[in-house]
């Protein structure tokens, strides 16, 4: 059977908490990236990994990142599309509900690679209970120095905000999402 990557620890009791997530190797990518790698090195590593987007097109993530200009002199934000309004689709909701820290970890490492200092998780309005799970996990991440100022003593600062949308299918399309 194929090895599960994203959902490997989904059924571990208490995995939604920072403590249990950490015990299962959580936030290792943040430690590795922020303490030992430059943002460009993280982009290269993601390119090499062959990781692809989950938004429908399966676009290579590292290649998408390398199209961006350097963030110098501009404020940059990373926005996670968690609208997921395709009928019958629940891959993102399942992941956020079960292992919210996995998404937060990915947001921190990705934001570091891209030079974002304030990032957003845009979540479908109907997922109010998932929003609460995420907010609790984000508060834990702040309390443990994974978000906020000078993360893990690296000098990198990041704020992460959850923004609920109105719940319209079109708001999952990226330009409509940002407008919304």
Ligand X SMILES: Cc1cc2nc3c(=O)[nH]c(=O)nc-3n(C[C@H](O)[C@H](O)[C@H](O)COP(=O)(O)O)c2cc1C
Q: Look up residue 79 and give its two tokens.
A: 């926005």
Listed residue (129, 125, 131, 128) closest to 103, CA to CA = 131
Residue (26 or 172) nearer to ligand X, CB: 172
* Part of the chain binding ligand X (CB under 6 A), chosen from 43-51, 113-121, 160-168, 169-177: 169-177
Cα(45)–Cα(66) distance, integer angstroms? 11
- Is 57 a binder of ligand X (CB under 6 A)? yes
- Is 173 a binder of ligand X (CB under 6 A)? yes
Q: Is the CB of residue 176 less than 8 Å from the CB of residue 85? A: no
Strand order of the sheet with strand 159-164? 79-82, 118-123, 159-164
Q: How far is the CB of 150 from ligand X (least distance, A)?
A: 29
Applying CB under 6 A, which of residues 78, 83, 108, 140 lies at the interface with ligand X? Answer: 83
* Part of the chain binding ligand X (CB under 6 A), chosen from 43-51, 128-136, 157-165, 170-178: 170-178
Q: How far is the CB of 59 from ligand X (least distance, A)?
A: 5
Q: Look up residue 49 and give its two tokens.
A: 């990994």
**Helices marked H in 99-127:** 100-114
Residue (139 or 170) nearer to ligand X, CB: 170
- Is 81 a binder of ligand X (CB under 6 A)? yes
Cα(96)–Cα(157) distance, integer angstroms? 23
- Is 170 a binder of ligand X (CB under 6 A)? yes
- Is 77 a binder of ligand X (CB under 6 A)? no
């Amino acid at each position: 059977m194929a090895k599960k990557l994203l959902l490997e620890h989904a059924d571990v009791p208490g995995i939604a908490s920072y403590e249990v997530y950490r015990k299962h190797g959580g936030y290792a990518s943040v430690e590795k990236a922020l303490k030992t790698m430059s943002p460009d090195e993280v982009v290269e590593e993601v390119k090499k990994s062959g990781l692809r987007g989950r938004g429908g097109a399966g676009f290579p993530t590292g290649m998408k990142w390398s199209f961006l200009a350097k963030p110098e002199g501009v404020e940059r934000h990373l926005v996670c599309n968690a609208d997921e309004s395709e009928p019958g689709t629940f891959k993102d909701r399942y992941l956020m509900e079960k292992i919210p820290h996995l998404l937060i970890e990915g947001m921190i490492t990705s934001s570091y690679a891209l030079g974002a200092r304030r990032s957003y998780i845009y979540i479908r309005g109907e997922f109010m209970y998932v929003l609460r799970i995420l907010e609790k996990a984000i508060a834990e991440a702040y309390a443990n120095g994974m978000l906020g100022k000078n993360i893990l003593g690296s000098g990198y600062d990041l704020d992460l905000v959850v923004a609920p949308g109105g719940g319209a299918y079109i708001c999952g399309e990226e330009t409509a999402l940002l407008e919304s």
